[in-house]
Every structure is written in C-alpha cells, then in structure tokens.
Amino acid sequence: MGYPARHILGRSGRLYSAYLPPATYRITQELDPFKNHILSIHRHLASTIESAIENKSHAAIALSLILGDRNTLDQEMIETYSKIGIIYLFYRDWE
C-alpha cells in the first residue's frame, strides 16, 4: 500500500496531487492538520467550480476571483482585462 495522495498548493497557486508507491518515499515532516484541511477544501472548491462551469474561460475567471488561482487565465484574457482597466480584480499585487 502506497502513501496516500497529497495535495500541495505550489508557489504558482496551482494545486498539485501526487501518489507515491511503497518504498519510494521518506516522510520528513507531517503537514499541519489545519493546512491540510484548508488545502482539501480548496481542492474541492476548485473541482466543483470546474465541473459546474462548462465554458473554460468562465471557469478560469471564477477560479481567479473566488480562489485566487490566476494560472488558468490565458494571456489574451489578461491583456483584455488590462486594456479595459480591471486587471486589479485578478491581481492584487499587479505592478
């Protein structure tokens, strides 16, 4: 039996999942149970949004606004929102 899937929110803001087969891993530190729970909620919300909104562009906007996951916004969307002056809705730290 392998180690269960772990979900990690990377620096890019994307949620990653991994499964490690037996004898290929070494646990060096347990995740904080609270953080693990928050990541689980984030993963569930992202999955729900993506399955509820069929249009990929609309789902990308929802993910960005609701969960802060800006990685699904394509370059054309970013440029369009920059031109009309509302890019700050997606990037709080926009420069």
Q: What is the pLDDT of residues 60-87, one digit of tens each?
A: 999 988 888 888 888 898 889 889 988 8
DSSP secondary structure letter of residue 6: E
Query: What are the DSSP E strand ranges found in 1-95?
Result: 3-9, 15-20
Q: How far is 38 from 75, CA to CA, in rounded Å? A: 29
The model's pTM is 0.58
The answer to whether the CB of 7 falls within 8 A of the CB of 39 is: yes
From the list 73, 42, 75, the residue with the least C-alpha distance to 59 is 73
Q: What is the pLDDT of residues 32-63, one digit of tens each?
A: 788 888 888 988 999 999 999 999 999 999 99
**DSSP-based helix, strand, coil % in the chain, nearest 5:** 50, 15, 35
